[in-house]
Amino acid sequence: MRCGKMAAPPPPAAGAPGAWGGVRRRCQRLLYWVPVLFISSILCWSYYAYVTQLCLLTMTNIGEKVVCLVAYHIFFMLFVWSYWKTIFTLPMNPSKEFHLSYSDKESLEREPRGESQQEVLRRAAKDLPIYTRTMSGAIRYCDRCHLVKPDRCHHCSVCDKCILKMDHHCPWVNNCVGFSNYKFFLLFLAYSLLYCLFIAATDLQYFIKFWTNGLPDTQAKFHIMFLFFAAAMFSVSLSSLFGYHCWLVSKNKSTLEVFRAPIFRHRTDKNGFSLGFSKNLRQVFGDEKKYWLVPVFSSLGDGCSFPTCLVNQDPEQASTPGGLNSTSKSENHLFPAKPLRDSQSHLLTDAPSWPETAAKADKGKVGMSNPALTMENET
């Protein structure tokens, strides 16, 4: 028998299940772009209807034309820029520190569920800044990505990846909205709302004139009337959605955390990540106000660790400095131990919000507080 390289397996036949699976996945990826193409086509038509049919062909006052065209193009540019950034900014995934080592993955696959698996996860999570748990009190572990989930990280079934600070998967942008693009998504909502309100406001008088036959019946009539209806309709839906996300930012919550509040080591705390309105706002938009309204990334932190309020401490941990009762409420909240990187975020290092003594007391005990720790796979 001759030794040599093993021949590569032949590609699946046209009718093989693997071939059909690949075709189906490609078709699904194409279908995911349909909502984006729909929004883009509406945007292109609105540009033609407003600039050509309304401003250039219908408006007679030169000053009005200039003001409307300049203001319109500013809103249009900001809308397109923020929409583009929301679509094409790749979601951030957990860093390598959260991935299990090869030996740990082998242990989890080889051992039955039990104390051995619990020990693997305890060992993997003991030095990580993880403070949330599953409903059963287990370390949050993803068996598809083979990693310990950072706080506020969730597995997206559409992207098939774990997304840092995942808010939701949005079909209108064909992307996951999370830590890397949440600011862009908020600006997209804001500028699309302003875009629609501006169109509706400046188009209203011409809509009324065409409706009451005050202007001649031309081709522009259809475009101007439908443009007003579309702008008004989108304004209503966008205002409610934008208002909802403004409320989320003010409370430092994600959409997923509204439906299922984060569970910390002792209890569920729906406001566990809230730092007060000012710091909540800075966590999304950053410290430099000159970047707040521009679609450039300026969010604070690394997406893997977040300052939080630990309402109750573990009995194994040192008591609160100054003799404070460990079960006291919000006025005695503590922030977690230092994250993996000495952080990019001022929110993680402010002295009033993060007592160093408590941070040192917490060090080395993360992930060890629950003696009945069990592995639970979440998607």
Give just the sign of the alpha carbon dihedral 161, 376, 256, 31. Answer: positive
31 contacts 37 by C-beta, under 8 angstroms? no
As a whole number of angstroms, the distance between CA 79 and CA 71 comes to 12
CA–CA separation, 263 and 376 (whole Å): 14
Task: Tell me which DSSP letter residue 137 carries.
Answer: S
Backbone angles phi, psi at 79, to 5 degrees: -60, -50
Helix 220-251 vs helix 182-211: crossing angle, to nearest 10: 150
Per the DSSP assignment, residues forming a β-bridge with 264 are: 132
Pairing of strands 376-377, 140-142: parallel
- Per the CB < 8 A criterion, the answer to whether 295 and 81 are in contact is yes
- What is the spatial distance between Cα 283 and Cα 304, in angstroms, rounded to a whole number? 13
Amino acid at site 185: F
3 state SS of 294: coil
CA gap 54, 22 in Å, rounded:
47
Dihedral sign for Cα atoms in the order 190, 193, 196, 198? negative
* Whether 170 is catalytic: yes
Tokens 């000012």 correspond to 278
- Catalytic option among 170, 176, 304, 309: 170
Owner of token pair 């969010």: 299
Q: How many residues does the chain have?
A: 379
Catalytic residues: 170
